[in-house]
Structure 1
Amino acid sequence: MGLRFTVLGSGSTGNATIVQGNEKTVLVDAGMSMKKLDELMRERGIAGHELDALFVTHEHSDHIKGLGAFARKYELPIYANEATWGAMERHVGTIAPEKRVYIETGEEVSFGSMVVQSYPISHDAAEPVGYCFVEQGEKLSLATDLGYVSEKVKRQIIDSDVLVLESNHDTEMLRMGRYPWNTKRRILSDVGHLSNVAAGEALLELMTDRTKRVYLAHLSLDHNMMDIAMMTVNNILEDHGIFYKKEEHPLRATYHDKPTPWDEVKRK
């Protein structure tokens, strides 16, 4: 089968992604209630007892809201770096010592036949990370909550078969929006979130002949729309001579309130 995945939800209301290899299945983040996670998973025909582990990117509520309850219910080990454990400890409740797994940022973990690679990202959290999943030569990269796409991040996620990339906000919508200026400044900063334009410009360097699909993720409900994000990113690609026939276009949507279809990474 190889790698496949579904983004259960993406955005400020909650983030969670299931990645399934030939031997192991993991959940990345648990940013909704346990009830909501179970509901979204049922929509994709999978249950919590089928999971083998939970990986955490960082401690913000939209990534760990249901973490403790969900992990306890299904007796899942939780993988996170030491700084993230320290920052989220008081929010997730009691986790049995044998279920607390510390991984260093930049470390690779062999998980069955799947290799999980963590890498540092720029965000206003204790020690935020992204993850890449590699199995049988297939590579899926998750890259959200990025203030900017650093050279180190580019080296990590370039040449992915499938990339889930943040396209958080339309800059003008954010500037004109109702948020206080301090919040806007944080979102626009190097430890905030990636704009549609920044996502498109990053893809000019990240997409290679190997790249099959790119999912635009973590869209703001207040300062973005998927149609705008898609159009902005597509226009940047086309302006630089990257054209696609409609049926072959690589851009895909994620949703804040429903899961994406299962996607096999190797699928053309």
Structure 2
Amino acid sequence: MSLQFSVLASGSSGNAIYVATEKQKLLIDAGLSGRKLEHLFKKIDCCPEDLDGILVTHEHSDHIKGLGVFARRYKLPIYANKKTWTAMEDVIGEIALEQKFEFPVEAVKTFGDLDVESFGVSHDAAEPMFFTFHHNGKKLTLATDMGYVSDRIKGVIKDSDMFIFESNHDVNMLMMGRYPWNVKRRILSDHGHVSNEDAAHALADVIGSKTTRIYLAHLSRDNNMKDLARLSVQQILEERGFTIGAGLELYDTDPSIPTKLAAV
């Protein structure tokens, strides 16, 4: 079995990603209610009962809303770094000691036939981190909730077969929108979120000969649109010498509709 995944939900209202191999099935973040997560699993014909664990990127509610409920219901181990555990422990409710595991930032942890590499990002959370998944020579990167994409991150994620990558906002929509200035400033800061344009330039630096798919993720409900994000990223990538549709494809993600289960 190849490395498979589905972006179950992505956006400011909630985030959850499913990653699976023959021997391991993991949920990354649980930012929706337990009932909603179960509904999303049904849509991709997968069962939460088959999960082996939950990886947590950071403690913001759109990433852990259903974490406690889901972990208790299915008796799932939770993996997070120490600072994230401290930040979210009072929010997710009581978790049995045998379900609590530490996954440090800048580390590699092996889950059966799947190696998971964590890397830190710049975001306004305790110690946010995201993941690159390695299986049988294939590489899948999940990278959202970043104020900017550092050279260190680019080195970790470079030449992934597939990327799930933040394309949070259109700067003009954000600046013209209804958000108060302090929120706009936070989004635009080095601890906020990556814009469509910044995402495209970062992707141009890390796309390699193996890269076939890019999923644009964590789009703002108020400050972005799927078509706008895709067109903005495509235009910049083509200006940087890439051809979309010739072995390299762009895909949308959605807050409530999972992507089809895809193989890396």
State the TM-score, normalizing by the size of structure 1: 0.97
Displacement of 1:249 in angstroms is 4.0
- 1:260 — aligned with what? 259
Give 3-state SS (helix, strand or coil) of 1:84's partner: helix
Paired amino acid for 2:44: R
For residues 1-268 of structure 1, what are the structure 2 equivalents within 5 Å? 1-244=1-244, 246=245, 248-265=247-264
Distance 1:29 1:229 in 2: 23
Unaligned 5+ runs, structure 2 = none
State, as a whole percentage, how many aligned pairs show the same letter: 50
Deviations 1:71-115 (Å, cap 9, x if unpaired)?
Answer: 000000000000000000111000001100012111111100100
Give 3-state SS (helix, strand or coil) of 1:140's partner: strand
Displacement of 1:241 in angstroms is 2.2
Displacement of 1:247 in angstroms is 6.3
Deviations 1:127-160 (Å, cap 9, x if unpaired)?
Answer: 0001111010110010000000001110111110
Give 3-state SS (helix, strand or coil) of 2:39's partner: helix
Paired amino acid for 2:226: M
Unaligned 5+ runs, structure 1 = none
4+ long deviations beyond 6 Å: none
Distance 1:136 1:126 in 2: 33
Distance 1:223 1:56 in 2: 26
Displacement of 1:66 in angstroms is 0.1
Give 3-state SS (helix, strand or coil) of 2:84's partner: helix
Deviations 1:156-183 (Å, cap 9, x if unpaired)?
Answer: 1111000100000000000000000000
Q: Over aligned residues, Cα RMSD in angstroms?
A: 0.8
State the TM-score, normalizing by the size of structure 2: 0.98
